[in-house]
Structure 1
Amino acid sequence: MRKFWLTYLPVDRFEALGEPHRRRIVELVADRARNAGEIATHFTISRPAVSQHLRVLTETGVLAVTVHGRQRVYSLDPTAFEEVENWLDAQRERWARALDSLEEAMEAAHRPSGETDT
């Protein structure tokens, strides 16, 4: 009986960054570009597994890859985080509005009867 492995690629950067090994790879290349072998030395997982993570990060646009002869050098694509930052900013604004509304409701509930907010 043959076993078939289905390779799953995340469809967006959020999913790509949700995996701990990939986040660690991003941290490694954040300060300088590194080749695949150098990145792999920081992990106890197999080199093919590291290569798969690099592929996911490259295909989702988190990393850029440059080929120098037989070496592939990976670097961080800073524009990749604009999407993440925009989403986080929207969530912060949403929560700030919700908390402001909650604060107003709590203040109104604790005001003596007949007193209004001016």
Structure 2
Amino acid sequence: MSSPAGDVIEVLAEPNRRRILDLLKDGERPVGELVDELGLAQPTVSKHLRTLRDAGLVEVRVDAQRRLYRIRPEPLAELDAWLAPYRRLWSGSLDRLERHLEEGTS
């Protein structure tokens, strides 16, 4: 997959990276807090954060001795836009199933 959405999907295929985004969805957090929450070694978390940053999914802000990470929503919005036609397809399938089930009980 060579689209921006494909790049994001490839990065998010790793479960720990999705867990990091889940932890960041409510706001920025320092690396140490992410390490504690994830139960992973600091170098491992830093490696995942670097991959997320390289993909544009997170950004970092330095505050004295701390590095604070937060989500960049733009790549996720691009992924959401790419998924929209598939979501409509899925929704249509569910609507047909619902109608079929209703007809079976009538």
The TM-score normalised by the length of structure 1 is 0.66
Unaligned residue ranges in structure 1 (runs of 5+): 1-10, 104-118
Give yes or no for the alignment of 1:60 onto 2:58. no
Residue 99 (structure 2) aligns with: none
Q: Letter of the 2:47 partner, please give it.
A: Q
Equivalenced residues, count:
88
SS in structure 1 of the partner of residue 37 of structure 2: coil
Give yes or no for the alignment of 1:41 onto 2:10. no
Residue 113 (structure 1) aligns with: none
SS in structure 2 of the partner of residue 12 of structure 1: helix
SS in structure 2 of the partner of residue 41 of structure 1: helix
Partners of 1:92 and 1:51 lie apart in 2 by 33
Q: Letter of the 1:26 partner, please give it.
A: L
Partners of 2:28 and 2:63 lie apart in 1 by 12
Give yes or no for the alignment of 1:72 onto 2:78. no
Partners of 1:69 and 1:46 lie apart in 2 by 22
Q: Letter of the 1:46 partner, please give it.
A: A
Residue 8 (structure 2) aligns with: 13
| Residues 79-98 of structure 1 mapped to structure 2, 5 A cutoff | 79-93=74-88, 95=89
The TM-score normalised by the length of structure 2 is 0.73
Deviation at 1:44, TM superposition (A): 2.5
Tell me which stretches of 4 or more aligned residues in structure 1 moved more than 3 Å: none
Unaligned residue ranges in structure 2 (runs of 5+): 1-5, 97-106
Cα RMSD of the aligned pairs, angstroms, is 1.9
Identity of aligned residues (%): 35
Partners of 2:8 and 2:65 lie apart in 1 by 27
Name the structure with the higher helix share.
2
The higher-RCO structure (CA 8 Å, 6+ apart) is: 2
Partners of 2:23 and 2:29 lie apart in 1 by 8
- From the CA coordinates, give the structure whose radius of gyration is larger: 1
